[in-house]
Amino acid sequence: MLRPKLVTPHLVIAPRFGFDSAGRYAISRSPMITSSLQGSVQEDHLLFLLGVLNSSACFWDLARRSHIYSHGYSRLELATMKGIRIPNFRQLDQSVARRIIKLVQSRIKATGTAAFQIEAIIDDLVADLYGLSADDRRVVGMLGDK
């Protein structure tokens, strides 16, 4: 448990995955995601996953598969997480993967309007990876058209 990982609250209304880069936190009830990759690519893999999991497209699928509580909260569990489709990091065009990673790094540091702008760019890139049309993007809650 004490290794770099992605963490999220057990109950969420929106994507709230965070990056525990130093492996400082132990998680007991909530899902945690580690990378099977080793070395310098491990952090890149986790940053890529962070961008995908916090995207509108991926979270829409995740919330759709999760148990829904009152007020729209989704309960994230390991079984639910295993069912979602995530683009394969190793098979991606590395320029796209690198762009998402750099944007996620920028988003981690950003606040205010800049953070929302970066999230919108990540959303578009991830929607492209999923092959979403303009109509699909509206369904998953993305406001802009492509």
Choose among 66, 104, 57: nearest CA to 85.
Answer: 57
Asked if residue 57 is part of any domain, the answer here is: yes
Q: Within 10 A of 132 (CB to CB), how many other CB atoms are there?
A: 21
d(CA 104, CA 114): 12
Mean pLDDT of 58-85: 82
Asked if residue 144 is part of any domain, the answer here is: no
**Residue 59 sits in which domain range?**
5-139
Asked if residue 146 is part of any domain, the answer here is: no
Choose among 129, 119, 131: nearest CA to 95.
Answer: 129
- pTM, whole model, 2 decimals? 0.89
Contact 10, 76 (CB under 8 A): yes
Asked if residue 34 is part of any domain, the answer here is: yes
Asked if residue 21 is part of any domain, the answer here is: yes
Which range has the worst mean pLDDT, 41-45, 66-70, 101-105, 131-135? 66-70
Asked if residue 121 is part of any domain, the answer here is: yes
Residue 12 pLDDT grade (very low, low, confident, very high; cuts 50, 70, 90)? confident
pLDDT at residue 143, rounded to an integer? 64
d(CA 128, CA 100): 12
Q: How many domains does the chain have?
A: 1
pLDDT at residue 83, rounded to an integer? 82
Asked if residue 80 is part of any domain, the answer here is: yes
Asked if residue 55 is part of any domain, the answer here is: yes
Q: Which two three-digit tokens encode residue 76?
A: 């994230």
Distance from the Cα of residue 21 to its chain's centroid: 15
Give percent helix, percent strand, percent coil of the chain, each to the nearest 5.
Answer: 50, 10, 40
